[in-house]
């Protein structure tokens, strides 16, 4: 609903509507990862062009041809789609705040991903890198915000994982132990000693497990920077 409203609102005001960023960072070592990801990027950009967007953006230059091809197919020689005013679009406030995912469940894999990516991003941020490549995706502070916010909600409401266990602070800390061990093994002892993962974990657990929801994670993370 919000993308339809975005295009309609922009075009009504004579402004170009820009699609979302394709965050994928190509791998130089894994052709299969690239194949799957590029197919997803193509699908996303085809949808954006078809929905009436005038342009889009990507996280890596290697994705430009895929995005350009998708928009060229729809726009042809036209520079934009401002003529698509979308009078048929009518979006209610309730549709904009409906974040339900049909068939979506809370899983251990999802919890682990939130913990790992959240800690990795904060560690990168503490070292001065605000846009970090994690798992072949370009992530920014919004990623860590979503990760810690989901965990906070799951703990607050005692959400049950698809696998059975209830999400609580002890489970989150247990998984954090696990994920920190994996990161240390992957990095090696020398790189680990130079990292900020210990502080990053403390900051992440504070914003994910605090009694009251912290307004913004970087305000907490700042306290751990010398």
Residue with tokens 């960072």: 25
16 and 83: one domain? yes
Tell me the CA distances in angstroms from 148 to 37, 71, 108, 142, 145, one per residue in order. Answer: 25, 35, 15, 10, 5
Residue 49 lies in a domain: yes
What does the pLDDT average to over 165-193? Answer: 98
Nearest Cα to Cα of residue 111 among 178, 33, 210, 182: 178
Q: Which residues pair with 133 in a beta bridge?
A: 138
Instruction: Using a cut of 0.95, tell me whether the model's pTM lies above it.
Output: no
72 and 144: one domain? no
**8 A C-beta contact, residue 25 and residue 119:** no
Domain that holds residue 208: 108-224
Residue 67 lies in a domain: yes
pLDDT tens for 12-45 read 999 999 999 999 999 989 999 999 999 999 999 9
Residue where a domain stops, chosen among 73, 96, 119: 96
pLDDT at position 211, please?
Answer: 97
89 and 192: one domain? no
Q: Which residues pair with 166 in a beta bridge?
A: 160
202: pLDDT strictly greater than 90:
yes
What CATH number is associated with residue 167? 1.20.1220.12
Q: Which residues contact 117 (CB under 8 A, 6 or more apart)?
A: 134, 135, 139, 143, 144, 147
Tally of structural domains, the chain: 2
State the pLDDT confidence band at 99, using cuts at 50, 70 and 90: confident
Residue 177 lies in a domain: yes
pLDDT tens for 203-217 read 999 999 999 999 999
Q: How far apart (Å, rounded) are the C-alpha atoms in residues 119 and 172?
A: 12
212 and 131: one domain? yes
134 and 47: one domain? no
Residue 29 or residue 56, greater confidence: 56
Q: Which residues pair with 160 in a beta bridge?
A: 166
pLDDT at position 107, please?
Answer: 98
150 and 124: one domain? yes
**8 A C-beta contact, residue 116 and residue 183:** yes
Dihedral (C-alpha) 197, 199, 202, 205: value to the nearest 10 degrees? Answer: -50
112 and 161: one domain? yes
83's tokens? 């003529």
Q: How far apart (Å, rounded) are the C-alpha atoms in residues 13 and 161?
A: 45
129 and 204: one domain? yes
**8 A C-beta contact, residue 38 and residue 66:** yes
Helix axes 64-75, 31-51, angle to 10 degrees: 30
């Amino acid at each position: 609903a919000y993308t339809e409203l975005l295009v309609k609102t922009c075009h009504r005001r004579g402004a170009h509507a820009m699609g979302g960023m394709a965050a994928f960072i190509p791998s130089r070592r894994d052709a299969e990862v690239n194949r799957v990801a590029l197919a997803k990027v193509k699908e996303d950009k085809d949808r954006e062009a078809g929905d009436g967007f005038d342009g889009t953006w990507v996280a890596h230059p290697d994705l430009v041809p895929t995005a350009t091809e998708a928009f060229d197919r729809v726009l042809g020689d036209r520079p934009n789609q401002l003529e698509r005013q979308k009078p048929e679009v009518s979006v209610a406030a309730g549709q904009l705040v409906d974040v339900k995912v049909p068939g979506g469940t809370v899983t251990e894999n999802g919890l682990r991903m939130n913990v790992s990516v959240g800690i990795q991003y904060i560690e990168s941020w503490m070292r001065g890198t605000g846009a970090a490549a994690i798992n072949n995706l370009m992530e920014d502070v919004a990623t860590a915000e979503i990760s810690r916010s989901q965990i906070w909600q799951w703990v607050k409401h005692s959400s049950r994982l698809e696998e059975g266990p209830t999400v609580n602070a002890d489970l989150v800390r247990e998984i954090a132990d696990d994920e920190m061990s994996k990161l240390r093994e992957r990095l090696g002892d020398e790189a680990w000693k130079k990292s900020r993962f210990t502080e990053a974990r403390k900051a992440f657990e504070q914003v994910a497990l605090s009694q009251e929801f912290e307004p913004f994670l970087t305000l907490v993370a700042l306290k751990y920077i010398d």
